[in-house]
Amino acid sequence: MKIWITAVMVLACTVAGNAAEPTPGRTDGPEGSEVGRGGYAHYGTPGSLFIEPLFGAAAVDIELQGSGDDSSQTDLIYGANVGYYMEEWLAVQIGYGHIAGNQKANLYSAGIRNVLRNEPFNWFMSLDADLYSPDAGDSHFGIAPGVGAEVVITEKLSAGLQYQHDFIFADDTISINRFTARLQLKF
């Protein structure tokens, strides 16, 4: 009898040791629980690419060093950002913007975005490094912190507004205030 009990215990331990973790599947508990097989592996779509066309207004303020001449003009801005969500709350992005009108300039940017998800409204902060390249004059480096809000339309589509202030590092004092509307499409 001892041999049979020992054999059953060895067999039970061997089977239990080789048991695999259940595969993700249906959960049977209340909303937000992990009762049953699987569970909630991710919220949102981490690891997703996005493209974000933008359109709005850019107020460009330039104060020339030594001359005291001030120039302030509001023009249209359009462009796009392309980025990658590493997590549901953190993304890296690169972008291009063109300021049209009398003070034509291109803005090339790379930076990060931190999103606070409170669907259907999301809030975000961004920090970009910019290359300000006017049609007339030299290109200059700058940084552009920004804040914004967006409305989630579907899991893959959201629309929002953003404000960014560009601090351009140059001998002349150059600052750009950007107010843009954006439409983000995730892949």
What's the pLDDT tens digit per position in 72-118?
Answer: 888 999 999 999 999 888 999 999 999 998 889 999 999 999 999 88
Q: Of 177 and 170, which is predicted with more confidence?
A: 177
Burial class (CB in 10 A: 0-12, 13-18, 19+), 91: buried
Q: What is the CATH number of the domain that holds 140?
A: 2.40.160.20
Question: Same structural domain for residues 89 and 28?
Answer: no
Taking CA atoms, 82 is separated from 50, 56, 110, in Å, by 6, 18, 10
Number of compact structural domains in the chain: 2
pLDDT in tens, 154-163: 989 999 999 9
Q: Count of alpha carbons within 13 Å of 120, Cβ hemisphere only?
A: 7
For residues 59 and 177, the answer to whether their CB atoms sit within 8 Å is: yes
| 177 and 99 part of one domain | yes
Cα dihedral 80/168/145/91 (nearest 10): 50
pLDDT reported for residue 42: 46
Tell me the average pLDDT of the chain: 84
At 48-60, the pLDDT tens digits run 899 999 999 999 8
User: Based on the domain organization, do 35 and 104 belong to the same domain?
Assistant: no
Q: Which domain holds residue 6?
A: 1-41
Task: State whether 80 and 61 are in the same domain.
Answer: yes
**Could you tell me if 108 and 171 lie in one domain?**
yes
Same structural domain for residues 17 and 75? no
> Quick one: 76 and 147 in the same domain?
yes
Assess whether 20 and 79 both reside in one domain. Answer: no
Q: Which of 35-39, 57-61, 62-66, 172-176 has the lowest mean pLDDT?
A: 35-39
Whether residues 79 and 9 share a domain: the answer is no
pTM of the model: 0.71
Same domain, 97 and 136: yes
- The number of C-alpha atoms within 13 Å of 136 and in the hemisphere containing its C-beta is 4
Q: How far apart are CA 160 and CA 52, in angstroms?
A: 10
